[in-house]
Amino acid sequence: MFMYQKKLQYPVRIKNPNPALAKAIITQYGGPDGELGASLRYLSQRFSMPYPELKGLLTDIGTEELGHLEMIGAIVHQLTRNMTIEQIKDGGFADYFVDHTAGVYATAASGAPFNAACFAVKGDVIADLSEDMAAEQKARVTYDNILRLSDDPDVSDVIRFLREREIVHYQRFGEALRLASEKLDQKNIYAINPAFDR
Amino acid sequence: MDTNNTECTYKQGSLPGCSALGLAVTPAQASSQPAYESGEALSRGTLFPGLDLPFMNIVNKMPASTTPLRELMALDFVCNELALYLDTHADDTEAFETYQSMLKLYEEGRNTYASKYGPMQRSDMAYAPNFNWLNEPWPWDYVKEG
């Protein structure tokens, strides 16, 4: 089960509203490489994992990603608080505003709502861990792109923290893939799927 | 573990010799050292200088002054980072000892914090004067500096 800690993983303190930036950053809430998809990908994949280090790593990273989802929600919330209608119009935020006001909704920057098709659970050790490594890279690039767009140092500070976490997670998934491969038949690592063939 | 490069720096890791074809291989981080101090680790987003690879080489500045909450976040962050490291390095006894000492610091810090500012988790209310779970602010609320 999960227990809530009443704090963020990293401080989010954004002085000025900026709906245009919020509209880009919301993609890490509900977009294809966002934190919601990341968390659900890892927390779902762990059920079929055969080795304890894989169960542990997917649990721990999936849990951390839930904390990142909360941080992204906090950024969007703070960027959209006390907005004027002029700021909403000028920031290109009217189409989000008309559907969600200043609520935080799981959507991609393009406006496509969150879709479970953006994360994969294949039920195969090598396929799922390779997926996870690619997912961390895609999230890292999304944060690179947000850093290119951000003109607010309060926002960039938090984004740099989240981006660095993707690199650490990539390393851990890479190590996990290697640990798993060492347990397989060294003459043919693809002979079986250890998540299914016992 | 069969490795073909044992003299790695902290920015590098060991690779197995004669690896199987047809699979991506990631160098294994050799050690939980060197490591940043907890406040710097939080600012950087990692405990490990070897994994600290910032975009455009721009890094977060440490804040001029810290707060009790930020210090607690830093301790918890180091605990989390070491837990992920231990998930793939369960036999690293030195890292586990560091992890245990950081957990103790976090537990102490959280108890002190909770008695002054309110609960961080609901079990912190065992000796609370009232149901202060509802105290403002909540984590996503904007709070002015200081």
- Distance in angstroms (rounded) separating the CA atoms of residues A96 and A84: 14
Q: If you measure CA to CA, which chain B residue comes closest to A166? A: B45
Q: Percentage of chain A surpassing pLDDT 90?
A: 98
pTM of the model: 0.97
Q: How many CB pairs under 8 A join A and B?
A: 141
Domains of chain A: 19-182 (1.20.1260.10)
Write the single-letter amino acid at B74: A
Cβ distance B25 to A6 less than 8 Å, yes or no, reads no
Residue B146's pLDDT band, with cuts at 50, 70 and 90, is: low
Query: Which residues in chain B are closer than 8 Å to A179, comparing Cβ atoms?
Result: 88
* pLDDT tens-digit map of A101-129: 999 999 999 999 999 998 899 999 999 99
Q: At residue B104, what is the residue type?
A: K
CB-CB neighbours of B36 under 10 Å: 18
* Alpha helices per DSSP H over chain A: 19-25, 27-30, 35-45, 52-79, 85-90, 94-100, 125-149, 153-182
Question: Given this model, what pLDDT does residue B56 score?
Answer: 98
Q: ∠ CA A24-A25-A28 to the nearest 5 degrees? A: 120
Judge whether residue A20 has pLDDT over 70.
yes
Flag whether residue B25 sits within 8 Å of chain A, measured between CB atoms: yes
Mean pLDDT of chain A: 97
Quick check: B87 and A60 CB within 8 A? yes
Partner-chain residue, chosen from B16, B76, B84, that has the shortest CB–CB distance to A168: B84
A10 contacts B42? CB cut-off 8 A: yes
